[in-house]
Amino acid sequence: MIKVFLDSSVLFSAVFSDKGYARDLFELAEWGDIELVISEYVLEEVRRNLKNKASGVLDLLEVFIESIPIKVVKNTNKKLVLQVAKYTHIKDAPVVASALEQKVDYLASFDRKDLVENNQVKKGSRLKIVMPKKVVLLFD
């Protein structure tokens, strides 16, 4: 089974819109094709962003967490986050560190500039950092 860590942009999008590749990842998880992983850090960031930008769908996030198989993991230790911060933005370091710690197959993100197309992060982490579409198309 493919293990996919979601950053905040993907989780937010999946909750906010009932269409698109972010939501497709949740369908694949429901069918048992992939395992979704998020950290407490990601979950709290999405809760905060939904509260500020789309409070009407905040309850849907909780429904997703309770009903769709999503593994919510503890935040990574600060030592690993600081190591990762040497080659990534500090705001993204907890996400990349958690993905590394969970030994995922993919880190899915919509953040092209700081993650998906950032060769320094890819080289430093050795993670496959991709847009959600890339994971979804593995199953077409």
What is the full DSSP assignment across 50-70?
A: HHHH-GGGHHHHHHHHHHS-E
Question: For residues 23 and 11, what is the distance between their CA atoms, to the nearest angstrom?
Answer: 9
Domain with 63 in it: what CATH number?
3.40.50.1010
Task: Name the domain count of the chain.
Answer: 1
Percent share of the chain, pLDDT over 90? 97
107 with 84: CB under 8 angstroms?
Answer: no
pLDDT tens for each residue of 71-121: 999 999 999 999 999 999 999 999 999 999 999 999 999 999 999 999 999
Question: What strand order describes the sheet that includes 106-108?
Answer: 70-73, 34-39, 2-6, 106-108, 129-130
Structural domain of residue 67, as residue ranges? 2-137
